[in-house]
Amino acid sequence: METKACVLHSEKDLRIENAPLAEVGDDQVLVRIGAGGICGSDLHYYLDGGFGVVRVKEPIILGHEVAGTVEAIGAKVTKVKPGDRIALNPSRPCGKCKFCQSGEQQHCLDMWFYGSAMRFPHSQGAFRERIVAYDFQCEPVGEAVSLGEAACCEPLSVALHAVQQPGSLTGKRVLVTGSGPIGALVIAAARYAGALEVVATDLHDAALKKAVEMGATRTVNVAQAPGLAAGEFTADKGYFDVVLECTGAGGVIKSALPALKPRGALVQVGTAGEVPIPIDAIVGKEIRIMGSSRFHLEYPLAARLIKEGRINVKPIITATVPFERAVEAFQMASDRKAHMKVQLTF
Ligand SMILES: [Zn+2]
Ligand SMILES: [Zn+2]
């Protein structure tokens, strides 16, 4: 059996072609993919052939933010049945390594993650019409939400994981730097987690408008008013309890520190490569710096929050394009000013 898939051969060489479709095993399901969101990592693979040391070395099916409908199930599957609409968790930790065994599956030593060139042979992705997946990857989302919304489960999981890093956000003042798709979902997750105020920054007004729709209580366009470096947010040793940094830009990280209160937390969500940071400011104010990577338990939580309409992800979906026009969709997704989340339909 075969299925149509979006296969990246090398930088900017994305083709729709047939890919093999495995037999459905006892604990597996056949899923007809309905929607798939283009993520920053997909874009890096497409535009640059990878990021950092991670390079595309063989044809790879992109895509990890997907949802679809179960078409068939293996003999031992009880979690879902044919016809169920599901969000498909792209993450398959091994379950056996020391990190999986200690409940830190996001650090699995033998992780299979859809559409990732981190390992070789590459872990093939889910931008395809049909896929055979394991039952434990499926999270039913009911009938009330679109598969496009369900496909936002993965980035929402990333956001829900990030807001847990600094401890309780209840009653806290939170700054979210960068209101792209992840920033927007981090805003929603911070509100869900009980943040009193969520101030969002970005360079573009369109993104800030979305930030408000996602729950930001105030916005600052840092292109017009460079900084937080002056004014109320930096007076008296800072305003915010927590900064959730989603840009990965060195200058932004640096400019956020004066706005952080002593003993506040800087959660780094965006990847930044290597950037200089003012250590003395961190020492002087006893700032806690922490990273956030991927998710595990947050995926079923994200599915439930979307399913029940408790977090509305619709504002971030700015375009929906049939997968046959994937190249056009990837070009749209690279225009940060015009788009947040571009999704493919299958
Ligand atoms: Zn993603
Ligand atoms: Zn593991």
Q: Are residues 26 and 146 in the same domain?
A: yes
* Measured distance CA(195)–CA(155) in Å, rounded: 20
* Measured distance CA(126)–CA(132) in Å, rounded: 10
The tokens describing 129, both together, are 């019409």
Average pLDDT value for the chain: 95
- CA 156–ligand 1 middle distance (angstroms): 9
* Measured distance CA(230)–CA(294) in Å, rounded: 33
Q: Are residues 125 and 232 in the same domain?
A: no
Phi-psi region of 275 (alpha: psi -120 to 50; beta: other; left: phi over 0): beta
Kindly write down the DSSP assignment for every residue of 289-312, as one continuous string.
Answer: EEE----STHHHHHHHHHHTTSS-
pLDDT band per the 50, 70, 90 thresholds, residue 51:
confident
Is 132 among the domain residues? yes
Q: Are residues 137 and 236 in the same domain?
A: no
- CA 93–ligand 2 middle distance (angstroms): 5
What is the number of other CB atoms lying within 10 angstroms of the CB of residue 223?
A: 11
Q: Give 11's DSSP letter.
A: T
Is 109 among the domain residues? yes
> Which domain CATH number covers 185?
3.40.50.720
Least confident of 26-30, 61-65, 228-232, 325-329: 228-232
- CA 61–ligand 1 middle distance (angstroms): 14
pLDDT band per the 50, 70, 90 thresholds, residue 224:
confident
Q: Are residues 103 and 12 in the same domain?
A: yes
Q: Give the bridge partners for 177, in sequence order.
A: 201, 245
Q: Are residues 25 and 112 in the same domain?
A: yes
Phi, psi of 212 (to 5 degrees): -65, -45
* Cα–Cα nearest to 316, from 109, 117, 65: 65
Is 299 among the domain residues? no
> Which domain CATH number covers 131?
3.90.180.10
Q: Are residues 148 and 254 in the same domain?
A: no
The tokens describing 98, both together, are 């020391």
Q: For residue 336, what pLDDT is reported? A: 84
- CA 254–ligand 1 middle distance (angstroms): 26
The tokens describing 112, both together, are 């299979």
| Ligand located closest to 93 CA | 2
Q: Tell me the per-residue pLDDT of 288-320, one tens digit each, with 9 for 90 and over.
A: 999 999 999 999 999 999 999 999 999 999 999
Q: Tell me the per-residue pLDDT of 183-193, one tens digit each, with 9 for 90 and over.
A: 999 999 999 99
Q: Tell me the per-residue pLDDT of 155-185, one tens digit each, with 9 for 90 and over.
A: 999 999 999 999 999 999 999 999 999 999 9
pLDDT band per the 50, 70, 90 thresholds, residue 1:
confident
Contact 330, 14 (CB under 8 A): yes
For helices 181-192 and 153-164, the axis angle rounded to 10 degrees is 60
- CA 115–ligand 1 middle distance (angstroms): 10
Q: Are residues 234 and 218 in the same domain?
A: yes
Is 308 among the domain residues? no
Is 184 among the domain residues? yes
Q: Tell me the per-residue pLDDT of 101-124, one tens digit each, with 9 for 90 and over.
A: 999 999 999 999 999 999 999 999
Q: Which residues of 69-79 are buried (b: 16+ CB within 10 A; e: fewer)?
A: bbeebbeebeb
Is 305 among the domain residues? no
Is 257 among the domain residues? yes
- CA 157–ligand 1 middle distance (angstroms): 9
- Sequence letter at residue 165: Q
Is 176 among the domain residues? yes
- Has residue 267 got a pLDDT over 60? yes
Q: For residue 272, what pLDDT is reported? A: 82
Q: Are residues 13 and 136 in the same domain?
A: yes
* Cα–Cα nearest to 28, from 75, 69, 61, 91: 75
Q: Are residues 241 and 322 in the same domain?
A: no
Q: Tell me the per-residue pLDDT of 126-164, one tens digit each, with 9 for 90 and over.
A: 999 999 999 999 999 999 999 999 999 999 999 999 999
- CA 112–ligand 1 middle distance (angstroms): 14
Q: For residue 337, what pLDDT is reported? A: 86
- CA 130–ligand 1 middle distance (angstroms): 19
Q: Tell me the per-residue pLDDT of 227-258, one tens digit each, with 9 for 90 and over.
A: 665 688 999 999 999 999 999 999 999 999 99
- CA 268–ligand 1 middle distance (angstroms): 16
- CA 324–ligand 2 middle distance (angstroms): 35
List CB contacts of 263: < 8 A, sequence separation 6 or more.
285, 286, 287, 288
Total structural domains within the chain: 2
Q: Are residues 42 and 144 in the same domain?
A: yes
Host domain of residue 13: 2-152+313-345
Q: Are residues 190 and 213 in the same domain?
A: yes
Q: Are residues 148 and 163 in the same domain?
A: no
| Ligand located closest to 100 CA | 2
| Pairing of β 91-92 and β 112-113 | antiparallel
